[in-house]
Amino acid sequence: HLWERDCSTQRRHQKLLEESPSPRLPQETREAMTSAAVRLAKAAGYYSAGTVEFIVDKDNNFYFIEVNARIQVEHPVSEMVTGIDLLKQQILVAAGEKLSLKQEDIVPRGHAIECRINAEDPSANFRPCPGKIEQIIAPGGFGVRFDSHVTAGYVVSPYYDSLIGKLIVHQPTREAAIETMTRALRELQVKGIATTVPLHLDLLSHSAFHEATIDTKFVERLLAE
């Protein structure tokens, strides 16, 4: 396994921000969850990339939700903290090759955060914002990654998912990752359509996020303030 991702920052069950490692998960719970996920995969005979989802209550009891038998949107978070190319490994396994990885070699390093950049207007109840992207300038620098399929002139369709990019950062500590993500979001320029960048900046600046006291209703509470 490649450890865990925390996806508490969501709206209407749609993830907005993911991070790894989970900032408040006790090591005992972390090890129990990853062990349960591995046992489930072995029992099902599952051999490709997949994600086992759990929900954790305030007492750190965890409950199974589902298995996503695919590469998920937030896979770069795991890649950044482990240094493992998940897409490459998935293709190799599909081609019939055996994994060359051993669990003791998969050591998480530092902290990674991903923000999903959507073509939506947070100030207008997340109204979809299809249209032509006049200009897009991606941020850069140490520990910054931007995965996107769009370029200047690209037309965002109203008929498909509003995701236009994933901004990922990786730093030695969580606070450093928050600082780098804040800087990267401010550097990201998308002209022609509205995006969720302003919301991400609000999330990252909130004291509850810095203190890691958030839950799955955090975004709803923030929007109600």
pLDDT digits (tens, 9 = 90+) for 66-108: 999 999 999 999 999 999 999 999 999 999 999 889 999 999 9
Burial 174-193 (b: 16+ CB within 10 A, else e): beebbebbeebbeebebebb
Q: Which CATH class is domain 6-224?
A: alpha beta
pTM exceeding the 0.75 threshold for the entire prediction: yes
Burial of 41 (0-12, 13-18, 19+ CB in 10 A): middle
Q: Which of 128, 225, 111 is closest to 177 using CA atoms? A: 111
What are the DSSP E strand ranges found in the chain?
Answer: 6-11, 14-20, 51-56, 62-68, 111-118, 120-121, 127-128, 131-132, 135-137, 144-148, 155-156, 163-171, 189-191
Task: Return the pLDDT at 225.
Answer: 81
pLDDT digits (tens, 9 = 90+) for 19-48: 999 999 999 999 999 999 999 999 999 989
**Locus of tokens 């907005």:** 16
Enumerate the active-site residues: 70
Q: Is the pLDDT of residue 172 over 90?
A: yes
Kindly list the domain boundaries of the chain, sorted by start residue: 6-224
How far is Cα 209 from Cα 225, in angstroms, rounded to an integer?
Answer: 15
